[in-house]
A and B are shown apart, each in its own frame.
Chain A
Amino acid sequence: MAVSNPDVTGHAPSVGSRGRLTEISDDLITQCMHCGLCLSVCPTYALTGLERSSPRGRIRLMKSVQDGIIPVSGTFEYEMNFCLDCQACQTACPAGVKYGELVESARVLIESRRKGFSLKKFILTNFVAGKKGLRVAAAVLRFYQKSGAEKILLPVLKVLMPGLYKRAGMLPCMSDKFAIDVLPEMLDPKGEARGTVAILTGCVMDAMYSDVNIDTVEVLLENRWRIATPTGQVCCGSVSAHSGDIELAKSLAVRNIRDFEKTGADYYVVNSAGCSAFMKEYGELLKEDPQNCARAVEFSARVKDFSEFLYETGYRKPTTKLGGVVTYHEPCHLVHAQKVSGQPRAIVNEISGENYRELNEATWCCGSAGIYNVVHYEEASKLLERKVENIRACGAGTLVTGNPGCMAQITAGVKNARMDVEVVHPATALNRLYKSDRKT
């Protein structure tokens, strides 16, 4: 670390926290007492059986890099990116090792040493983080699906580029319109509002599942919340941060803070688990930014995941119940990163009446993990197969889960296995029941 950059507060720099990620924190590393309990829940260790693909092994590799015993080698880089960052290990770790922070620090370290052009970074910066780029990409994909080009191109891809062909098959149907373009800045419920919530429409969620955003709004309205949709909102920054581009993530966070604050909302409700998890960390992310740190802490305190918010503030229980066997898949960024597990389960249990059946390994990653299923297609597919087999054994006709990545991944998985399983967001499930309540 540069000597010419003294800590303004006079304290020792808190290396390894999200604010300053040029090194991996020694304290965080030492916290791991290598007992091995994390191995039992690690999906990548389950795939390879190799210690270096386990949280404990990766932490030891980080320590070795930190101590100068090994360089940031190809193997090191591979293992850090092979990790799904699902954080199941963090739930399992009695010692309280902050593994997520560690692996993200390691990725920042890797990216900071990369020279030259990175396609991944280019795509993330221009097509995910920038709303305009995302619109262009979504429009192209929509055209590709709707014009019939998909039908013509897929067989060609199958022969010429089988890798891309398999990945293209995973793509869910694009939304016709972005919810953010349709939703007014403020929407009032019927009757007296209980308060105001601002919603994040998200990037992936809005591009692929804008219906879920509409369902989210309708469910919140039904429960008498006033809805604000900040129009200047951008990507939450999680994809950038998880890929090691922390500076981009910070600038996105600052923009969102500014835009959400303007609404004066009591809560910020987010229906993508990956986004809610990251937005709850803005306080930590910006803690060394004197201008924004206090606002970031305040911001994060208002962030609630959709199911967490509904359960904790109370919601009208629909009288109609879902038909058939219903199960629940826990998104990693909800159960492990946010420790939100009982709340969505209670909701799903409630709306499925007698038909709820527990999914074996419900807390195991489905392999989606942000852009993991694109970058590590083969490994992600094995995890998906494991998930699909558990769904088959459970016999569910409906699987509820609250994250667009998981929804797309599992939908592709069950479709591929020719299983008749519908994957729905809790907001969609609830809204459907509210609608049929109104009919009866």
Chain B
Amino acid sequence: MINDATKHKLRDIFGKVNLLDSTEDRIAYSYDGTPLFGSLPDAIVIPAAVEQISLLMKLANEEKFAVVPRGSGTGLSGGSIPTENSVVLLMNRWDKVIELDRNNLAAWVEPGVITGKFQSLVESHGLFYPPDPGSSQICTLGGNVAENAGGLRGLKYGVTKNYVLGFEVVLPNGDLMRIGGKNMKDVAGYNLKDVLIGSEGTLGIFTKILLRLIPLPQTSRTMLAFYDSMAGAAETVSSITSARIMPAMLEFLDNSTIKAVEDFARLGLDTNTGAVLLVEVDGPRSAVEEDAAAIEKICRKSGAKAVRVAGDEAEGMKLKAARKSAFAALARIRPTTILEDATVPRSELASMVDFIETTAKKHEIRIGTFGHAGDGNLHPTGLTDERDKNEIRRVEGAFDEIFRRAVDLGGTITGEHGVGLAKKKFLESLYDTPFIRFMKTTKEMLDPNCVLNPGKVISVSPRCEGALPRSREQIEKALGRMDNPSEAYF
């Protein structure tokens, strides 16, 4: 626990009202969107200025407590889950769009701006910010940059890192560093920008972000194709790409997911269907019509039993919103949804989906799968109940196999959610030793006391997880605390 003297110092930095440490507040920041993970922070601080964040990091290094940055808390790998002995740094009030530069197609934003609001704003100016995570209605741009978030438009437009021109960041020692600018080309120095993007809050705290924008496509068309089985959907995906058509979105949902989504969104989807593909094409009107017609033909040729084209953009929006609800809608089937993020090269999609189905059967669990078919980015979701510990163990066993298989197929353990706490144990199986050493050295150099979001992505030293108990009394005390539910809550 952070002692009272340190809390006093925190209060001096942030002011009384911006330091929260009631049990209720600590409970309310003990979780994020990640299933099964949670832990109480010692306090929550709400900064009003960059200087306060610098002072916080300096104090953290002096007093050896951890700082865990947080936006809206929608992450799915545990990136904003408090660690032991930690203070949550709440950035969601930093929600101003500082500058929208229509000449340079760029925007300076604060990290707490909601992604969806930013998208609407730039679209009202005829501009486009493509990264579109499922939680865009509430997630923050700062969190998106920290996690290098992907989303539904990855295939044609890429992910968050493709739209970050620069930022200001507070480093773990409290220094403020500025990277990048409005230049479309810039090779001065190492490409440190890409080291910090996706660092999951372990290397720096973004305080200002410069984002790249592109012109808004003239129009778009959304359609749904229904298949008896996954095989037809997978065939469609490879046929579309080999026909050199680049849809803005190429998403799929399996039968369990369709049922859950229909139960929530009531779109009149055929729930007796094995798989659904959601395809969107965008661009100039003529090209969109041409592509849409070609895709419809491919769908039917690959065995689609029905193709439904959205009548207008409003209907298209509804279909996309329904797809975005998939993860949470699956909780209608079972309350705990363990969402994973295994990604394989596009050509291995069908084989990976097959493997997921077989593995689910083998472990006697239920898995609903949906995801970004065009990116090979799958979201197999274990449908379970956290109160059933046996079943949770079986789900974890199944996902162990699924990750290993993804890596064997040349894939990766996480396409867009990040490593955080949830996938940490798989990271070392993915990369060779020099890669891991490179990461650890970078972290140790920037954050020698390991105070910024420790224990996430990789572990560098035991201190990361909090001070080890030294004396017998300390051990007793630590064990005693485990019996006291208010301290060992999870």
- Pair B92/A36 contact, Cβ less than 8 Å: no
A149 and B135 CA atoms in complex are apart in Å by: 54
Q: Which of A39, A70, A93 contacts B138 (CB 8 A)?
A: A39
Q: Is B100 an interface residue (CB 8 A)?
A: no
Q: Which residues of B have CB within 8 Å of A51?
A: 25, 28-29, 73
Within the assembled complex, what's the spacing in Å between the Cα atoms of A40 and B115? 11
Which residues of chain B come closer than 8 Å to A35, judged between CB atoms?
33, 74, 135, 327-328
B137 CB–A CB distance under 8 Å: yes
B23 contacts partner chain A, Cβ-Cβ < 8 Å: yes
Residues of B within 8 A of A52 (CB): 24-25, 27-28
Q: Is the CB of A30 within 8 A of B386?
A: yes
Are the C-beta atoms of B485 and A67 separated by less than 8 Å? Answer: yes
Stretch of B3-11, B152-160, B332-340, B397-405 that contacts chain A:
B332-340
With a cutoff of 8 Å between Cβ atoms, the chain A residues found around residue B329 in the complex are 94-96
Which residues from chain B contact A69 at a C-beta distance below 8 Å? Answer: 23, 27, 485-486, 489
Q: Which residues does chain A contribute within 8 Å of B385, judged by CB atoms?
A: 30
In the complex, which residues of chain A have a beta carbon less than 8 angstroms from the beta carbon of B327?
35, 94
Contact of A33 with B337 at beta-carbon distance under 8 Å, contacts A51-B29, A94-B264, A96-B332 already known: yes
Interface assignment of A14: CB less than 8 Å from any CB of chain B: no
A93 to B20, CA, bound (A): 28
Quick check: A93 and B328 within 8 Å, CB to CB? Answer: yes
Inside 8 A of B74's CB, which chain A residues have their CB?
Answer: 35-37
Q: Are B31 and A34 in touch, CB under 8 angstroms?
A: yes
Contact with B along A75-97 (1 / 0, CB 8 A): 11001000000000000011110
Q: Which of A31, A34, A67, A79 makes the CB contact (< 8 A) with B33?
A: A34
Please provide the chain A residues from 45 to 78 with a CB less than 8 Å away from any CB of chain B in the complex. Answer: 49-52, 57, 60-61, 64, 67-70, 73, 75-76
Q: In the assembled complex, how far is the CB of residue B70 from the closest CB belonging to chain A, in whole angstroms?
A: 9
Measured CB to CB, the nearest residue on chain B to A68 is B485
Known A35-B327, A69-B485: A40·B114 in contact at CB below 8 Å: yes
Interface string of B226-265 (1 = CB under 8 A from A): 0000000000000000000000000000000000110110
Residue in A33, A73, A79 with the greatest tally of chain B CB atoms within 10 Å: A33
Kindly report which residue of chain A lies nearest to residue B117, judged by CB atoms: A40
Do the beta carbons of B337 and A96 come within 8 Å of each other?
A: no
Q: Is the CB of B138 within 8 A of A36?
A: yes
Pick the contact of B24 from A27, A34, A70 — CB < 8 Å? Answer: A70
> Considering the chains assembled together, what is the distance between the CA atoms of A50 and B92 in angstroms?
9
For this complex, into which size category does the number of interface residues on chain A fall? 20 to 34
Q: Which residues of A contact B264 (CB under 8 A)?
A: 94, 96
Interface residues of B in 63-112 (CB under 8 A from A): 72-74, 90, 92-93
Q: Does B274 belong to the interface (CB within 8 Å)?
A: no
Given the contacts A30-B386, A49-B92, A51-B73, A37 and B23 also touching, CB distance less than 8 Å: no
Contact A95 B331 (CB under 8 A): yes
Q: A58 → chain B, closest Cβ, in Å?
A: 9
Please judge, given known A-B contacts A33-B328, A51-B29, A94-B328, whether A40 and B263 are in contact too, CB under 8 Å.
Answer: no
Q: Is the CB of B335 within 8 A of A33?
A: yes
Is the pair A64, B137 in contact by a Cβ cutoff of 8 Å? no
Residues of A within 8 A of B328 (CB): 33, 35, 37, 93-95
Tally of contact residues, B, Cβ under 8 A: 45
In the bound complex, do residue A94 and residue B331 qualify as a contact, i.e. CB atoms below 8 Å apart? Answer: yes
- Chain A 17-35 interface residues, beta-carbon cutoff 8 Å to B: 27, 30-31, 33-35
Question: Across the interface, do A94 and B325 meet the contact criterion of CB distance under 8 Å?
Answer: yes
Q: Chain A CB within 10 Å — which of B24, B73, B260, B336 has the most?
A: B24
- How far apart are the CA atoms of A35 and B329 in the complex, in Å? 11
Q: How far is the CA of A156 from the CA of B29 in the complex (A)?
A: 46
Q: A34 to chain B: which residues have CB within 8 Å?
A: 31-33
| Docked-complex contact A75 and B22, CB < 8 angstroms | yes
B345 interfacial contact with A, CB 8 Å: no
Closest-by-CB residue of A relative to B20 is A50
Residues of B close to A31: CB separation below 8 A: 331, 335
Interchain CB contact under 8 A, A50 and B31: no
User: Residue-by-residue, is B123-158 near A (CB-CB < 8 Å gives 1, otherwise 0)?
Assistant: 000000000000101110000000000000000000
B138 (CB) vs chain A CBs: closest residue:
A40
Known: A94-B328, A96-B263. A60 touches B31 (CB 8 A): yes
Q: Interface digits, A244-265 against B, CB 8 Å rule (1 contact, 0 not)?
A: 0000000000000000000000
How many Å lie between the Cα of A75 and that of B20 in the bound state? 12
Q: Which residues of A contact B22 (CB under 8 A)?
A: 75
Q: Do B24 and A36 touch across chains, with their CB atoms under 8 A apart?
A: no
A27–B387 CA distance with the chains assembled, in angstroms: 10
Q: For residue B322, which residue of chain A has the nearest CB?
A: A94
Name which residue of chain A comes closest to B116, CB basis: A40
Task: List, in ascending order, chain A residues with CB within 8 A of B332's CB.
Answer: 94-96
Q: How far in angstroms is the closest Cβ of chain B from A196?
A: 32
Inter-chain contacts of B331 with A (CB < 8 A)? 31, 33, 94-96
> What's the minimum C-beta distance from B141 to chain A, rounded to whole angstroms?
14
**Complex Cα spacing A391 to B138, Å:** 24
Min CB distance, A428 to chain B, in Å? 30
B35 at the interface (CB under 8 A from A): yes
Cβ A75 vs Cβ B31 within 8 A = no
Which residues on A sit within 8 Å (CB–CB) of B489? Answer: 64, 69
Q: Which B residues are CB-close (under 8 A) to A94?
A: 260-261, 264, 325-329, 331-332
Interface flags, B20-56, vs A, CB<8A=1, else 0: 1011110111111101000000000000000000000
Q: With the chains together, A330 CA to B73 CA distance in Å?
A: 29
With contacts A30-B387, A36-B72, A93-B328 taken as known, whether A76 is within 8 angstroms of B24 at the C-beta atoms is: yes
Give every chain A residue within 8 A of B25 (Cβ-Cβ).
50-52
A48 to chain B, nearest CB (A): 10
- A49 with B93: CB separation less than 8 A: yes
How far in angstroms is the closest Cβ of chain B from A70?
5
Chain A residue with minimal CB distance to B385?
A30
- A60 with B27: CB separation less than 8 A: yes
A34→B339 CA distance, assembly (Å): 13
Q: Which residue of A lies closest to B332 (CB)?
A: A96
The answer for the CA separation of A61 and B26 in the assembled complex, in Å, is 10
- Chain A's closest residue to B22 (CB) is A75
Contact partners of B137 in chain A: CB under 8 A: 37, 40
For residue B243, give the distance in angstroms from its CB to the closest CB of chain A: 33
Smallest CB gap from B325: residue in A: A94
Residues of B within 8 A of A27 (CB): 335
CA distance A73 to B486 in the complex (A): 14
State in angstroms the CA–CA spacing of A259 and B417 once bound together: 57
Most buried by A among B33, B138, B261: B138
List chain A residues, Cβ under 8 A from B263.
96
Chain B residues within 8 Å of A67, by CB: 485
- Ranked nearest first, the 5 interchain pairs of A and B with the lowest CB-CB distance are A95-B331, A94-B328, A94-B325, A94-B329, A51-B28
Q: Could you give 20 example pairs across A and B, Cβ below 8 Å?
A: A30-B387, A33-B335, A35-B328, A36-B73, A36-B138, A37-B74, A40-B114, A50-B20, A52-B27, A57-B28, A64-B24, A69-B23, A69-B486, A69-B489, A94-B264, A94-B326, A94-B331, A95-B331, A96-B264, A96-B332
Which A residues fall within an 8 A CB radius of B? 27, 30-31, 33-37, 39-40, 49-52, 57, 60-61, 64, 67-70, 73, 75-76, 79, 93-96
Residue ranges of B at the interface with A (Cβ–Cβ < 8 Å) = 20, 22-25, 27-33, 35, 72-74, 90, 92-93, 114, 116, 135, 137-139, 260-261, 263-264, 325-329, 331-332, 335-337, 385-387, 485-486, 489
Given contacts A52-B28, A94-B327, 14 further A-B contacts (CB under 8 A): A27-B335, A31-B335, A33-B328, A35-B33, A35-B135, A39-B72, A40-B114, A50-B20, A51-B25, A52-B24, A57-B28, A61-B27, A69-B486, A93-B328
